[in-house]
Amino acid sequence: MIDVMVKRFEAPDETRRFEKGKFELVNLGELTIGRASYEPGWKWSEHVAPLAETATCDVAHIGIVLSGCVKVLMNDGQEFELRAGDVFQIGPGHDSWVVGEEPYVSLHFFGAGDYAKETETAR
């Protein structure tokens, strides 16, 4: 058993890149933490959907917004914004996009391992 494990996002275990963004993964034992970084103009349905091969994001997320703002549209029509300092839980079935000119950055503590994962046919 490891008593201490320290890692940094400056040297992630994996980086998933897509147009206008990236998702960096750090593995701590069985826990995977992700850092989402999206540029202004990023939209899940345009920039990540081709990798996931789904119309909307089917990953559940628990995380915290570090900077910027995104708008989230759930499949049931519910809409809301996530801003710096917001701690969030979002179920599967949603689209999201950056609002404004500030880059968006968030940490994901649940769902990170499955997010923006390229499918076999997308490779």
**In whole angstroms, what separates CA 43 from the centre of its chain?**
11
What torsion do the CA atoms of 4, 31, 89, 66 make, to the nearest 10 degrees? 50
What are the helix (H) ranges across 1-123? 44-47, 49-52
User: Locate tokens 């995104």: which residue?
Assistant: 70
E strand spans, 19-120 = 21-28, 31-38, 61-67, 69-74, 79-83, 87-90, 94-98, 104-110
* Mean per-residue pLDDT, 92-118: 93
**pLDDT the model gives residue 115:** 87
Q: What single-letter DSSP state applies at residue 59? A: -
Contact criterion met (CB below 8 Å) for 7 and 26: yes
Q: Where are the domains of the chain?
A: 14-114
The residue with tokens 């890149």 is 17
In CATH, which superfamily holds the domain spanning 14-114? Jelly Rolls (2.60.120.10)
For 97-117, what is the mean pLDDT?
94
**pLDDT computed for residue 117 by the predictor:** 78
Give pLDDT, residue 1: 64
Backbone angles phi, psi at 86, to 5 degrees: -75, 130
Record the pTM: 0.91
